[in-house]
Structure 1
């Protein structure tokens, strides 16, 4: 498919869904009180762009997302590499990882509120906990997937540890790290908004709750759309950063050919 038209099918699908919702609301197939026309939602969304509070809420959501994700990366990368590189650590800590990984982050909200209150600390804690596990698992898989022949070759040529890391370890692990960051980025955004909805931490999530409580359905849907656009935008940025770093990887070469 020609590169300029890659976005066309998705755009047509989105426009089609919005058109169906618009018609369903205008014709009464959906109760207009709870499902306003998408054109009205779009008007409210555009109107928010001139509201200073909207940008403040957006910045607070991104702040919690970024800090929590950064903490997860700082913890997951060295710990995952250590576990994946050591047979003993892998056998010893795998049950711990498998026990903690399925714990829903929202189940920790009462504990987080007791410890941190309803401020940004609770949001950051929940984001960091939730986004840690995809990254940790990817780093473990990446460390265990390093080609032993490549390591043996490095030893045969008596490469220094720094050269081995640069020439063998990083190229082998980098695709797993990129995938883990993209997955954890989406998880982090979900938990940031969830914390704002449930705990009342400042951000887009709390603004959605306030719009719902005030009966401003158009604004509520507009802010929900913002969270979707935000997730799409963050993923697009990460993909953009990832492409030049992993241009040599098979998955990106296939994308260029497609």
Structure 2
């Protein structure tokens, strides 16, 4: 079934590209200059040998990885702390609910003003954007822990830390993994967005700005295509890891992969 699902996805993507090719070549006005998918894919393939683009790709992925790792290091412990201590959660929750809806892209101009170092500014924006799904999913995972399991362990004389390590964290782990997977996509969006708004010397967003200054729509879309490809690969890798590590959780919730 996994192979069939993959085949359906490939057929769907191919159909979408074919439809786009036909519409752009025969259905749009000649005044609208937009490259068809065949041209975009060709340029995307050529970018794989472009040293300048590859350097920018490495810069973007470095900022993405650093920001995501810092978000994990901050979001998971904070979510566990708030989930384990209800009074602390009630005290902090209004602040979280105030900050969480603020669009992450909207803080980029503020980050530019407050953080003069370019790489640190971009990583900080990625951290702010990606910490929320990790924190919230960790918090929800802690709330989903079976209270009977915790009470049973306490009845055998285990302390709070032992209950946390033996019951709460293993039970919340699938929620944490889901939060990290969601955060990975958000982190990539913000890594590129920060480059688009703040500029710099290297990065996918910087490459897009330079291509736009030369009216190279094909290169803009080709670079964007690479960002999308990496996002898909990262999501698939994390999803595969979830299914392997937490098969028991999928079986329990009735969502086991077919």
Q: Which SS does the other structure have where 1:6 is aligned?
A: helix
User: C-alpha distance in 1, partners of 2:29/2:151?
Assistant: 65
Aligned ranges for residues 172-191 of structure 1 at < 5 Å? 172-191=171-190
2:193 aligned residue: 194
1:57 aligned residue: 56
What do the CA deviations read for 1:130-189 (whole angstroms, capped 9, x no partner)?
A: 111111111111112211111111112223666534431222110110111011111101
* TM-score, with structure 2 as normaliser: 0.92
1:107 aligned residue: 106
User: Is 1:164 matched with 2:163?
Assistant: yes
CA positional deviation for 1:43? 1.3
Q: 5+ unaligned residues in a row in structure 2: which ranges?
A: none
Aligned ranges for residues 219-238 of structure 1 at < 5 Å? 219-238=219-238
User: C-alpha distance in 2, partners of 1:242/1:257?
Assistant: 11
Q: 8 Å contact 1:247–1:253 — kept in the other structure?
A: no
Q: 8 Å contact 2:142–2:169 — kept in the other structure?
A: no
Q: Which SS does the other structure have where 1:34 is aligned?
A: coil
1:153 aligned residue: 152
User: C-alpha distance in 1, partners of 2:126/2:189?
Assistant: 8
Q: 8 Å contact 1:143–1:173 — kept in the other structure?
A: yes
User: Is 1:242 matched with 2:245?
Assistant: no
Q: Which SS does the other structure have where 1:249 is aligned?
A: helix
What do the CA deviations read for 1:188-246 (whole angstroms, capped 9, x no partner)?
A: 01100100111114211111111111111111111111111111011011112222211
User: C-alpha distance in 1, partners of 2:249/2:74?
Assistant: 26
User: C-alpha distance in 1, partners of 2:146/2:196?
Assistant: 45
2:18 aligned residue: 19
1:208 aligned residue: 208
User: C-alpha distance in 1, partners of 2:83/2:130?
Assistant: 19
* TM-score, with structure 1 as normaliser: 0.92
Q: 5+ unaligned residues in a row in structure 1: which ranges?
A: none
Q: Closer, same or farther in 2 for the Cα pair 1:190/1:164, shift >3 Å?
A: same
Q: 8 Å contact 1:24–1:30 — kept in the other structure?
A: no
Q: 8 Å contact 1:26–1:32 — kept in the other structure?
A: no
Q: 8 Å contact 1:25–1:32 — kept in the other structure?
A: no
Root-mean-square deviation (CA), in Å? 2.0
Q: Name the count of aligned residue pairs.
A: 257
Q: Closer, same or farther in 2 for the Cα pair 1:153/1:240, shift >3 Å?
A: same
CA positional deviation for 1:251? 5.5
Q: Which SS does the other structure have where 1:7 is aligned?
A: helix
